[in-house]
Structure 1
């Protein structure tokens, strides 16, 4: 089966629109002033220079610039949602320059949040961390507690991905403290769920299960369906790791049904992957194959080649586990073709190695 990844969702801030070019603007202004003084020393006195340096941006320019930045930020969010992270970064940086020029600090924080998520999607983790830390600094300066909670939780994502669960835990605990101090139920649910992730990474699955169960209460109270689905899948992962198959299947099953009802395809696929693993572990192969068929159909309906590839790989691994090597090889070959289509050389090499290892076990059959 495809390897399951416990997901810590990046949470966007509530949309606030505003960004700008301060360094370029200051440099250009200083350069032009210097040229003026050198060429016309009599005409350019101290008063004139001071007036130029402190001349306010016209209100019409400010409005037009803000509208442009807001449009760019909305476009960036749409591009990110569509999976075009590189374009989202381009739009976000343009918006950021404008917001900086017109001095809209809060909108800069919102833009940094978009950039952080887009950078993560691109695997550019250092740039994502920098964006998150800038967002956090702005949230602290403006006493925006909700943004602080989200930024801290998102920062924990990167720390976990970097294999640093202890610092990640401390970061989430800070977010939980803030959420409790300001009675932010949504923030409490998010932080408790992520503390469960930290515990799971440290191998304390019983503690993780308790944290997830508590998190679910908060996420249900505030009607956070997406958050509830993420926590349910995390809870399924913890039950699976602890070898509790009945609760594993029950939890993933609930997540799958809820995700389907709410058209949350990512969490639906994730729940199916967990169910395939759990049913296979207890010898319910017919049910596992039925779920894999649902997964493949869903991937094809979405025209998602990546998930179609993952479905073929899961089929191959399950058939290999059952000793049906010819069928397993067929699915591996189909996955290899898709990896080549996606220009994913790393995945192609991995799949070819699996086929080679399988052929060695079977004497080349």
Structure 2
């Protein structure tokens, strides 16, 4: 046990020493009294370090930081100073100053797009409106915080938004609505392990349970919150928990314990400089003394509360404390003083729009006048009391009706939203399917184009290959023809010329004649060869013209007539080189045979189609 205590002490000492060294380093930077960014950061950090332990000193450092020239490079940090100082002023009940700083922060956040700090500025403004009992304005700003927190996906801010909205509902006596929001806040704080926020939410739940009369539950929640707050050294939360426990004990009529808790809370608030909460706690202590019948002691504590209210100009604190003092004087039978304080309470209550305090004043004054036998005045204030009570009851009924109507409309709206959401989901699914189909069709179309291009390219390559093969075939055929026809003819001419040189001149004429015949034959072969490979002669019509020329050369010297009968539909038929050449060679052979061996006088040539894929030539 000693070891554990020693280690704990050393750990705390080392932390404190480290923090003091940090403070000393920052103070050294500040001591140079410069107006640069480094000094600004140091002053800001000092404000943060003293925020919990010495709020007054923290305020001084933050105010010093506000005096630095504004630079855009530390815009975010400057806004943080505005929000932090605004929060400290809020705790002291200096709502005007707090408003000013948070609005300055909000203006800068909108200019520099600082979303997180903007949400905190909205939160600070909302808290000020709530303390001034301007609940609609407070709710508006807290809802803005919640919207921004959802956009930022900041669970801590979301939890804070629910917690603050719960407090607004509590101020409006909507206990069930407040409880729901506090539970949401607690769940979020617990999820992100934010123990400081969790302690606030738990204490708020404890407060609701206390209002509902569930004192054991209220005490359990509040004591859990107190344990967490003490562990975190969160003095504000510790003070609130003590104050709430005092309230619970008062409801249980355990006044001694209630006083102990209230005194602990008041002491911490005084150390923190939180005058508003200190004043409210002093008023609560006065109420304990009132419950015990110790009216003079109650007046003493209420007097302390009044002095604080006067210092911070807090109308709400004035209204409640004046009412407490009035009831104390009433019990002491000091009716004139009681009436004076009831009037003062009613005036302040009208300022904060608290008609319940006004109603209490009317009822009490009616009782005072009745005790003094001033029945006319007693009746007058009783009528005012009854009218105000009826008005409040009617308004409460109207509010209850409006709440039910709002819940109905909200349920209806939620159903419509759910229907629209499902409809949107169906549309999204349909759109997704449509996009998938479009993508598939586009992919298929792209594949078809690619396949088409590949097939086209393949056919082109095949055709080129076929064409190349045909060219090679023609070249080979030409080579064979040159070798067979022209080569043999030239060889014959060469032999004949050799013999002619060796023979007698008288016989040379015969050899020269043979050379001429062979040369003519060679020229004819060359002409046929060139004609066969010329692409201009691909049509059957050109082939027939060649046939006619050959027929004239062979048949006319023999005094033989000839006639060509060609189907006109075949004129444009295209023949490749091989077919054209073979057809012409067959035709030449037939004409030569007819001229040499037929002893005929007329040759009839007919070219016609047999069927779609074939034609015939009759001679």
Contact 1:212-1:235 at 8 Å conserved across structures: yes
Q: 2-side partners of 1:260 and 1:73: how far apart? A: 22
Q: Does 1:236 align with 2:246?
A: yes
Q: Which moves more between the two structures, 118-127 or 180-189?
A: 118-127
| SS across alignment from 1:243 | coil
The answer for unaligned runs of 5 or more in structure 1 is 1-13, 16-60
Deviation of the 1:238 alpha carbon: 1.5
Q: Which moves more between the two structures, 304-313 or 197-206?
A: 304-313
Q: Does 1:355 align with 2:349?
A: no
Deviation of the 1:361 alpha carbon: 2.6
Q: 1-side partners of 2:225 and 2:352: how far apart? A: 39
Deviation of the 1:197 alpha carbon: 1.5
Q: Does 1:323 align with 2:333?
A: yes
Q: Does 1:271 align with 2:281?
A: yes
- For residue 199 of structure 1, the aligned residue among 193, 206, 209 is 209
Q: Which moves more between the two structures, 353-362 or 235-244?
A: 353-362
Change (3 A) 1:248 1:85: closer
Contact 1:113-1:132 at 8 Å conserved across structures: yes
Q: 2-side partners of 1:344 and 1:201: how far apart? A: 22
Deviation of the 1:181 alpha carbon: 2.2
Q: How does 1:1-365 map to 2 (within 5 A)?
A: 92=102, 96=106, 99-100=109-110, 102-299=112-309, 302=311, 304=313, 306=315, 307=317, 310-332=320-342, 335=344, 339=348, 351=361, 354-364=364-374
Q: 1-side partners of 2:277 and 2:91: how far apart? A: 15
Deviation of the 1:124 alpha carbon: 3.6
* Structure in which a larger fraction of residues adopt helix: 2
Q: 2-side partners of 1:230 and 1:173: how far apart? A: 18
Deviation of the 1:311 alpha carbon: 4.2
Deviations 1:318-362 (A, max 9, x none): 1212333244235446x379759x898977897577435421332
Contact 2:87-2:124 at 8 Å conserved across structures: yes
Contact 1:339-1:348 at 8 Å conserved across structures: no
Deviations 1:125-166 (A, max 9, x none): 333223222212322333323322222211111122233322
Contact 1:220-1:228 at 8 Å conserved across structures: yes
The answer for unaligned runs of 5 or more in structure 2 is 1-46, 49-70, 376-619
- Residue in structure 1 matched with residue 460 of structure 2 by the alignment: none
Q: 1-side partners of 2:132 and 2:299: how far apart? A: 32
Change (3 A) 1:351 1:142: same
Q: Which moves more between the two structures, 140-149 or 82-91?
A: 82-91
Q: 1-side partners of 2:157 and 2:165: how far apart? A: 12
Deviation of the 1:81 alpha carbon: 6.4
| SS across alignment from 2:233 | coil
Change (3 A) 1:279 1:173: same
- Residue in structure 1 matched with residue 412 of structure 2 by the alignment: none
Q: Which moves more between the two structures, 117-126 or 193-202?
A: 117-126
Deviation of the 1:211 alpha carbon: 0.9
Q: 1-side partners of 2:198 and 2:113: how far apart? A: 32
Contact 1:233-1:267 at 8 Å conserved across structures: no
Contact 1:305-1:338 at 8 Å conserved across structures: no
Change (3 A) 1:336 1:263: closer
Deviations 1:192-228 (A, max 9, x none): 1011122123221221111111111111111111111
Change (3 A) 1:292 1:79: closer
TM-score (norm 2): 0.42
Change (3 A) 1:304 1:84: closer
Q: 1-side partners of 2:83 and 2:121: how far apart? A: 7
Matched positions, count: 305
Contact 1:92-1:114 at 8 Å conserved across structures: yes
Q: Which moves more between the two structures, 221-230 or 137-146?
A: 137-146
Contact 2:279-2:306 at 8 Å conserved across structures: no
| SS across alignment from 1:253 | helix
Q: 1-side partners of 2:146 and 2:366: how far apart? A: 48
TM-score (norm 1): 0.68
Contact 2:93-2:312 at 8 Å conserved across structures: no
Q: 1-side partners of 2:274 and 2:242: how far apart? A: 13
Deviations 1:67-108 (A, max 9, x none): 997787678668756767578657755654553454332222
| SS across alignment from 1:277 | helix
Q: Which moves more between the two structures, 323-332 or 81-90?
A: 81-90
Change (3 A) 1:320 1:120: same
Change (3 A) 1:82 1:352: same
Q: 2-side partners of 1:167 and 1:65: how far apart? A: 38
